[in-house]
Structure formats: C-alpha cells, structure tokens
C-alpha cells in the first residue's frame, strides 16, 4: 500500500510526547513491511540544522486560508528504503521556539498554523510522485481537519480522494477554536453543523476528524472503550459511540532499537535480564549524577512526564509527602504546570537526600532514569496508551500504574496473574490508593526472589511493532473496503 502519515510531531525530528514516538516508529515499521510510506510534518526551527541531509524536492504548496494565501515548500529526508519524510516549510507558522506554544501558553494562531498544515497535507496527497496514496492516516487534532478537507476536495474537483484514518492519541486535546476559525477552512457552511465540525458554537478540529474519517483508531483497546463513556469522552463520547463500528483500539508498539538495554548510546552499562550488573551500575551513576546518596539498597522511584493534570502528579505529591518518611529515593524529570513544578521543587528542598527534581526536557536523561530506577510511577487520571510504562518494563523498572487506558492493557498485576506479573496497579484515583501501591513496592523491594521474577517478566514482555503494524494494516484494509 501507499500510505501518507500526517503528524505535527515525529521522532527524532520534533517531539513533545508519545505522539512523536508512535508516528516515527509506525512509519519505520510500515516501510519495513514493504509499504511505500510518506510522513508529512512541519519543518520546525532547528530541524535543518540537526539533519543536514534534508533536501528540497521542488514541491510547493499554495494554501488558501479564508482570504489569505500562504505558501510553503517541501523538504525531504529518506531515513530508510520505503520511507520518505516530507517537511513542510512555512516560516511564519513553524519557525518558532515551540511546537504549539511557549511558556506553557498556546500560540494564539494555532488554528491558522494547523489549518495551513492540514491543507498542505491535502495538496501533497495530490502531488506525491507516482500518484495519490491509498490511505491518508492523520494523527490528533493538528491534522484532524484532513478527512473533511479531502472529502471537500473530492466534491469540488471530481477527484476520488484517498481513504482516511484518524488516530486519537489523546481525546483531551481537541483543537477547539472560536467560530471565526471556520472561515480558514473554506469549507461550505453545511460542514458547520452539529453533525460536522461545529461544537457548542465553536470549531472543533478533532471532532471533524471523528465525523469524517473512514476509520478511527485510538492507542489502546481499553481507552477505545473508555472514550465512549461520559466520564472519559471529553464531550465527544456521543460522536464516538455513533461511529463505534469504525473505532478500533490498537496498543502502540515500542521501538526496541531505540529503547534497548544492551545497544544504546544513552546507556554506558549494557545489561539484560540474565546479566543485571549493568542496571546496578546505571543506578549508581544516576544517583551520583542526581546528587543522591549512591546506595544500592535504597529503592529508587522515578517518573518522566509532562506536568499536566492528566498525569496524576497532584496525587503523587501527596503520596510522596507521606511515603518519604521511609527509606526511599525519588527523581522527577518533567516540565509543565508551574504550580506542580513549584510543589516538586519544594519537596526536593525539604528532602535533599531523598528527592531530586529536574525541570526540563532531556531525552538522554530519560533513558538513564528509566534504566537506573527500580520503580517507575505513572498514576495517570487517564492514559490513552502511555509509552513510559512499556519503556520501564523493558528497562527492568517495575511500573506502578493506575488501572486506566493503555496502562491497564500493558501491565500485569500480581492479583491478575501471579506468574506473569510485571507491575503494580491501583484503581482509585486517590492519594491513599497510590500510597498503598508505593507501600507494596517497598514490600516487593524487600522480597528479592519475587522482585527478580517480576523484573524478568517485565524485561521479556513484548510490545514490538510487528503486532501493531499488522493491526493498522487491517484498519487500512477496512477503510479501503468502504
């Protein structure tokens, strides 16, 4: 198949979260299966400097946004056979410090930026060498207008547009803008209805995708069920239920070339479940790097996360206040909500020998933390898939997760299956329930044979891309079947 993936972030070029990892890996995996894959993504500041092999391909886009004309130019990189990444250069839109905003505030013109991007994707779909793709697979709200725009382009010009698939990586981010943004789409008024892109008088990009895509996927089976309920549906559950026969939940895979314990530029001491010495050495180095006492016997808890409401960092702060009376260490790497940043920095000030907080984004350190820690905390309110718990499994760090979304689908608790258990789960979203889970972790740490068994299970759990790719291919086939 010929497949166009459209995403506002793609690892290793641009990243704010799991979306980037997923699209980067999906592109690679589909190409490895023999498909012809194009990834279309914005050319953000700094990419050309870091990837000097980028070349212009001689493709220009001319996008009409309301009454405005915006031009763009395409740059290309070919990371492997069968895979081409097309970067859309548009300096006003994308040559900025951030992807979506700065200083924790969204850019005020995000509707313009991503309507431009979505329209560029539609033009590119018509301009690809060798003809249009079979499937246009768009990701999250930033590209979610594409299915509606493709359909409109078909009606307007008589072109038969490719089939479209929308993946919702996080339903909480919908790209909702005041009604004025509708003019940017140049769609006829009939699209601005309750059954179209309109949402309580506003424009909702993600809803447009949910309504017009041929197939909808989300990133875990449990999250696919959750988002059809009022509690997790973020106001779109009725729309999702209405399209229930077109909705599939597919757990993300892990790029094990990247997240490897034995061949990894970010890890000085390789290890495997048979030879765990490298993990102990990594923990030792990490404790020193973080200014914590380098003690093998003290369990090291960690989290690497966006400091957002979703991630449950509020209940974690409460749980740590109580649990830090015990012999344990904790490290946080993350950034986001200023109040949470302050909360964690205060915690570190009060417990200098037990807590280290690194505010910021640091890819290499995230590898060292996942490899060096004993327990990885993900107490999310909701979690569409979550990649970090799968990375920590591979790195032999026992994940402590709330029973929600992809966390529930990827971790096995002792109470579920004693033989296959590889993590600790709790159910209620409360400080008390999380404190209980951390207490269990401390008991597990003092029970070496059980800890070793769970570590082995964790490190051998397999979330490789081959299964995920197969499931996406089936979704593409269903989209093509009509």
Question: In whole angstroms, how close is the CB of 260 to ligand ADP at the nearest point?
Answer: 14
Question: In whole angstroms, how close is the CB of 363 to ligand ADP at the nearest point?
Answer: 5
Q: Which is nearer to ligand ADP, 140 or 413 (CB)?
A: 140
**305 near ligand ADP, judged by CB under 6 A:** yes
Per CB under 6 A, the list member of 196, 334, 379, 405 interacting with ligand ADP is 334
Question: In whole angstroms, how close is the CB of 174 to ligand ADP at the nearest point?
Answer: 15
Q: Which residues within the stretch 376-405 sit at the binding site for ligand ADP (CB under 6 A)?
A: 385-388
Question: In whole angstroms, how close is the CB of 288 to ligand ADP at the nearest point?
Answer: 20
Phi-psi region of 274 (alpha: psi -120 to 50; beta: other; left: phi over 0): alpha
Q: Which is nearer to ligand ADP, 35 or 367 (CB)?
A: 367
**17 near ligand ADP, judged by CB under 6 A:** yes
Which H helix or E strand runs over 405? helix 405-410
Q: Which is nearer to ligand ADP, 362 or 471 (CB)?
A: 362
Which own/partner pairs from 275-283 qualify as long-range (CB within 8 Å, at least 24 positions apart)?
276/396, 276/455, 279/371, 279/372, 279/395, 279/396, 282/368, 282/371, 282/372, 283/372, 283/373, 283/374
**349 near ligand ADP, judged by CB under 6 A:** no
Question: In whole angstroms, how close is the CB of 229 to ligand ADP at the nearest point?
Answer: 20
Distance from C-alpha of 363 to C-alpha of 16, rounded to nearest angstrom: 11
Which H helix or E strand runs over 88? strand 83-89
* Burial of 450 from C-beta contacts in 10 A (0-12 / 13-18 / 19+): middle
Q: Which segment (14-22, 260-268, 395-403, 409-417) binds ligand ADP by CB under 6 A?
A: 14-22
Question: In whole angstroms, how close is the CB of 28 to ligand ADP at the nearest point?
Answer: 16
Distance from C-alpha of 464 to C-alpha of 403, rounded to nearest angstrom: 22
Per CB under 6 A, the list member of 329, 366, 404, 457 interacting with ligand ADP is 366
Q: Which segment (126-134, 303-311, 349-357, 460-468) binds ligand ADP by CB under 6 A?
A: 303-311
Per CB under 6 A, the list member of 168, 208, 240, 304 interacting with ligand ADP is 304
Per CB under 6 A, the list member of 66, 361, 450, 480 interacting with ligand ADP is 361
Per CB under 6 A, the list member of 258, 337, 362, 471 interacting with ligand ADP is 362
**167 near ligand ADP, judged by CB under 6 A:** no
Distance from C-alpha of 207 to C-alpha of 240, rounded to nearest angstrom: 9
DSSP string, 126-167: HHSTTS--SEEEEETGGGTTHHHHHHHHHHHH---PPEEEEE
CB environment 381-419: b (16+ within 10 A), e (fewer):
bbbbbbbbbbbbbbbbbbbbbbbbbbbbbbbbbbeeeee
Per CB under 6 A, the list member of 18, 162, 249, 379 interacting with ligand ADP is 18
Q: What is the CA radius of gyration of the chain?
A: 23
Question: In whole angstroms, how close is the CB of 364 to ligand ADP at the nearest point?
Answer: 9
Length of the chain: 482
Q: Which segment (94-102, 157-165, 304-312, 314-322) binds ligand ADP by CB under 6 A?
A: 304-312
Q: Which is nearer to ligand ADP, 183 or 359 (CB)?
A: 359
Distance from C-alpha of 430 to C-alpha of 365, rounded to nearest angstrom: 29
Per CB under 6 A, the list member of 266, 269, 284, 306 interacting with ligand ADP is 306
Distance from C-alpha of 411 to C-alpha of 304, rounded to nearest angstrom: 18
**Looking at beta carbons, which residue is closest to ligand ADP?**
18
Enter the tokens of residue 32.
Answer: 């490895």
Question: In whole angstroms, how close is the CB of 178 to ligand ADP at the nearest point?
Answer: 26
Per CB under 6 A, the list member of 39, 99, 224, 333 interacting with ligand ADP is 333
Q: Which segment (80-88, 176-184, 361-369, 465-473) binds ligand ADP by CB under 6 A?
A: 361-369
Q: Which is nearer to ligand ADP, 74 or 357 (CB)?
A: 357
**2 near ligand ADP, judged by CB under 6 A:** no
Q: Tell me whether the omega of the peptide bond preceding residue 12 falls within 30 degrees of 0, making it cis.
A: yes
Distance from C-alpha of 411 to C-alpha of 414, rounded to nearest angstrom: 10
End-to-end CA distance of the chain: 16
Q: Which residue carries 């037990």 as its tokens?
A: 354
Angle value at C-alpha 165, between 160 and 202, nearest 5 degrees: 95
Furthest C-alpha separation in the chain: 69
Q: Which is nearer to ligand ADP, 55 or 363 (CB)?
A: 363
Question: In whole angstroms, how close is the CB of 353 to ligand ADP at the nearest point?
Answer: 23
Enter the tokens of residue 339.
Answer: 């109040």
Question: Which DSSP state fits 409?
Answer: H
Q: Which is nearer to ligand ADP, 212 or 344 (CB)?
A: 344
List residues binding ligand ADP (CB under 6 A).
Answer: 17-18, 21, 304-306, 333-335, 361-363, 366, 385-388
């Amino acid at each position: 198949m010929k497949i166009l993936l459209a995403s506002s972030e793609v690892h290793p070029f641009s990243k704010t979260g799991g979306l980037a990892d997923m699209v980067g890996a999906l592109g690679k995996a589909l190409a490895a299966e023999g498909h012809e894959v194009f990834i279309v993504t914005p050319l953000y500041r700094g990419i050309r400097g870091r990837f000097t092999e980028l070349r212009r391909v001689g493709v220009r886009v001319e996008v009409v946004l309301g009454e405005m004309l915006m031009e763009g130019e395409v740059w290309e990189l070919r990371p492997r056979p069968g895979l081409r990444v097309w970067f859309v250069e548009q300096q006003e839109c994308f040559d900025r410090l951030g992807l979506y905003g700065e200083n924790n505030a969204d850019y005020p013109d995000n509707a313009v930026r991503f309507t431009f991007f979505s329209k560029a994707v539609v033009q590119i779909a018509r301009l690809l060498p060798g003809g249009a793709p079979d499937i246009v697979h768009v990701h999250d709200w930033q590209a979610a207008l594409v299915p509606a725009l493709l359909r409109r382009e078909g009606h307007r010009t008589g072109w038969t547009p490719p089939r479209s698939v929308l993946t919702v990586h996080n339903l909480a981010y919908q790209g909702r803008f005041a009604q004025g943004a509708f003019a940017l789409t140049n769609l006829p008024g009939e699209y601005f209805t309750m059954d179209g892109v309109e949402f309580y008088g506003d424009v909702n990009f993600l809803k447009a995708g949910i309504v017009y895509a041929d197939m909808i996927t989300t990133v875990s089976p449990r999250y696919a069920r959750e988002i059809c309920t009022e509690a997790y549906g973020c106001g779109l559950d009725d729309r999702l239920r209405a399209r229930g026969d077109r909705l599939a939940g597919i757990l993300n895979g892990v790029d094990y070339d990247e997240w490897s314990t034995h061949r990894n530029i970010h890890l000085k001491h390789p290890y495997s479940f048979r030879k765990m010495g490298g993990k102990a050495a990594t923990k030792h180095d990490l404790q020193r790097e973080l200014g914590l006492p380098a003690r093998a016997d003290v369990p090291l808890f960690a989290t690497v996360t966006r400091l957002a409401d979703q991630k449950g960092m509020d209940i974690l702060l409460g749980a740590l206040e109580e649990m830090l009376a015990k012999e344990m260490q904790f490290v946080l790497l993350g950034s986001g909500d200023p109040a949470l940043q302050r909360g964690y920095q205060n915690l570190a000030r009060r417990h200098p020998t037990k807590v280290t907080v690194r505010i910021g984004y640091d890819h290499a350190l995230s590898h060292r933390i996942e490899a060096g820690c004993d327990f990885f905390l993900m107490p999310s309110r909701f979690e569409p898939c979550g990649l970090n718990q799968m990375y920590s499994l591979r790195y032999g760090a026992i994940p402590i997760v709330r029973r929600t979304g992809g966390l529930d689908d990827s971790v096995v608790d002792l109470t579920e299956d004693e033989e296959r258990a590889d993590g600790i789960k709790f159910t209620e979203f409360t400080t008390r329930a999380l404190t209980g889970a951390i207490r269990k972790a401390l008991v597990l740490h003092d029970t070496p044979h059980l800890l070793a068994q769970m570590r082995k299970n964790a490190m051998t759990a397999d979330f490789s891309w081959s299964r995920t790719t197969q499931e996406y291919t089936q979704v593409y086939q269903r989209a093509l079947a009509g």
